[in-house]
Structure 1
Amino acid sequence: MNKNRTTLDPKHRSWAPGTGSGTGRAFRTCGPEMPRAVPPSVYESTELASTYLARASPKSQRDMLLYTARTTYLCWGHLAAAVRDGKNQYLKAFGVPSEELFTAIYRSQGERPQAVRGLQDEWRLGGPRVVAALDPSPFPCVCDLGGGSGALAKACMSLYPGSQVTVFDIPDVVQMAKRHFSFPEDERISFCEGWERMDFLVRGHFLRPFQGTHTGI
């Protein structure tokens, strides 16, 4: 991103500061603070934008930002009603029953991988530190419950290559992960719909409900 320069109409440069703090922050992030060597008619991405907004960046948060814009932001749009009614507003925001959290999150075939890619973005930043803090080195079998695409499992493999990691999630998410996010070159990471006996459990970003009684955790 930072290598691409785009012409910016001078009238936009004078208009942006008066449109409110949100637009101002966007312009500051995406390029209006330009080096003196850059002509005033062009702009380029700042280091912050190149790090967290560029798709190719190893620290990119692009998919998480897209997910929050399409899902979380819609919920905030019904904040007043949520406070007034004392309950979430999934039905108004997404057209799904209020008790069906994951139906709201995974409400379409397109939204499901978008949500999981967003979680991948988060684990890119914090995954290695989380795994190092947990220190699963004494345990040969590590299980990530609600692990989505296996991003945390991949972080675990990078620090503890001797481990075997099994990612557990609901069936629809597991099937989607196998299609879009699995690591066929790494036999140490596997995906499972259900439960097995495990030596060490890592809870994923959120705990999803499984039906029935399970033991061996």
Structure 2
Amino acid sequence: MSQQTPNAKLWQLALGFANTNILYTLIKSGVIEQLRNNARTLSEIATACHLNADVLFRTLRFAKAIDIVTIEEDNYSLTDVGRLLLKDVSGSLYGGLLMIGSEPWQKSWNLLSYSLETGKDAFTEAMGSPIFDYLDKHPKYGEPYNQWMTTATSMSAKAITASYDFSPFKTICDIGGGQGILLKNILLANPNLKGILYDQESVVANHVLNEVIERVTIQTGNFFEEVPTADVLIMKSVLHDWDDEKSLSILSNCKKVMTLESRLLIVDMVLNNEPDPFGSFYDLHMQVLLAGRERTEQEFQTLLNKAELQLKQIIPTQSPLKIIEVSL
């Protein structure tokens, strides 16, 4: 097999936007769903989805080139990769593709140059308001975002729960815990533990904690102002939303309620010193959306030093996230 030329490799990189749009369009148009159970002909797909058959043929030809579909004569089927675009299969990326292919995300990334020049988030510049305010006002985008966050947390919650020994503790507070998916998993695995779900009122109203509600207290508030007291404070995918200054404000509030026996668990990606595409993407994605960031181990160490907190250990999980255990 001949090695790819630098020119061809650069074009492949530059045309990545087309991959995103192909995947997004195949989901939105219903094509992926049409291929859920059986192979379908071009005519069958075009008729069922009310699509132009010629453009559909060419779109599916592109989809074959990126390993989303197979084509045998006139029969189209999903590959194993393509099946991950179905809504309700294990490991589905359906929600993530609906999100990153949509207008707010695309417009924000098109203004990466604004973030590069100013250090600010691009989302506010692109859409006229900060991301969470915008999503609250536009459920067309807010609901898919919340659904994807639920899916992403569900995929990692068991891995996080299995990676840390909660048995020495009596109480845990999930700070910015959303609907309580992670907290539910931890409480189900640790029947002697009591939990606090702490987030904004509009978020916790849709909690999923009924199965363990007798061991849960639900509190609403703002982690920039205060956090509840518990033996273990856990924050999943919170600090990566914020720059160092705002992260220090959150950490300061955590420190105020901690004792020598307390533990703070920061659950986030930890970037490798050697860059990889996945981690580097999420780092810039946080910048574009929120002026946030992913961090290396050294960057977490520096941040915690400024907060006068001790990094005890970093625990890997069977997910892209790691548990950063912190004490006074």
Normalised to the residue count of structure 2, the TM-score between the two structures is 0.50
Aligned to 1:48: 81
Question: What residue identity is the alignment partner of 2:37?
Answer: K
- Partners of 1:128 and 1:159 within 8 A in 2: no
Aligned to 2:219: 192
Q: How many angstroms does 1:152 deviate by?
A: 1.4
Q: How many angstroms does 1:198 deviate by?
A: 0.8
Larger mean CA deviation between 1-10 and 151-160 belongs to: 1-10
Question: What residue identity is the alignment partner of 2:155?
Answer: L
Aligned to 1:169: 199
Query: What are the equivalent positions in structure 2 for 1:61-210 lying under 5 Å apart?
Result: 61-70=93-102, 71-96=104-129, 100-175=130-205, 177-178=206-207, 182-187=208-213, 188-194=215-221, 195-207=227-239
Question: What residue identity is the alignment partner of 1:57?
Answer: V
Q: Distance in 2 between matches of 1:114 and 1:135?
A: 33
Q: Distance in 2 between matches of 1:67 and 1:190?
A: 32
Q: How many angstroms does 1:160 deviate by?
A: 2.7
Q: Distance in 2 between matches of 1:16 and 1:55?
A: 21
Q: Percent identity?
A: 20
Q: Structure 1's 40 and 135: CA in aligned 2 closer, same or farther, altered over 3 A?
A: farther
Larger mean CA deviation between 105-114 and 52-61 belongs to: 105-114
Q: How many angstroms does 1:108 deviate by?
A: 2.7
Question: What residue identity is the alignment partner of 1:144?
Answer: D
Question: What residue identity is the alignment partner of 1:165?
Answer: G
Unaligned runs of 5+ in 2: 1-32, 44-52, 222-226, 259-328
Q: Distance in 1 between matches of 2:54 and 2:124?
A: 42
Quick check: which one's strand share is greater? 2
Q: Distance in 2 between matches of 1:74 and 1:116?
A: 19
Q: Structure 1's 146 and 121: CA in aligned 2 closer, same or farther, altered over 3 A?
A: same
Q: What secondary structure, in the 3-state scheme, does the structure 1 residue paired with 2:233 have?
A: strand
Larger mean CA deviation between 194-203 and 104-113 belongs to: 104-113
Q: Distance in 1 between matches of 2:82 and 2:60?
A: 19
Question: What residue identity is the alignment partner of 1:82?
Answer: S
Q: Structure 1's 112 and 153: CA in aligned 2 closer, same or farther, altered over 3 A?
A: farther
- Partners of 1:120 and 1:151 within 8 A in 2: yes
- Partners of 2:124 and 2:131 within 8 A in 1: no
Q: Structure 1's 11 and 109: CA in aligned 2 closer, same or farther, altered over 3 A?
A: closer
Q: Structure 1's 116 and 128: CA in aligned 2 closer, same or farther, altered over 3 A?
A: same
Q: How many angstroms does 1:189 deviate by?
A: 4.7
Aligned to 1:15: 58
Q: How many angstroms does 1:44 deviate by?
A: 2.1
1:6 aligns with 2:40: yes
Larger mean CA deviation between 128-137 and 142-151 belongs to: 128-137
Question: What residue identity is the alignment partner of 1:81?
Answer: Y
Unaligned runs of 5+ in 1: none
- Partners of 1:81 and 1:89 within 8 A in 2: yes
Larger mean CA deviation between 141-150 and 66-75 belongs to: 66-75
Normalised to the residue count of structure 1, the TM-score between the two structures is 0.72
Larger mean CA deviation between 8-17 and 120-129 belongs to: 8-17
Q: How many angstroms does 1:126 deviate by?
A: 2.2
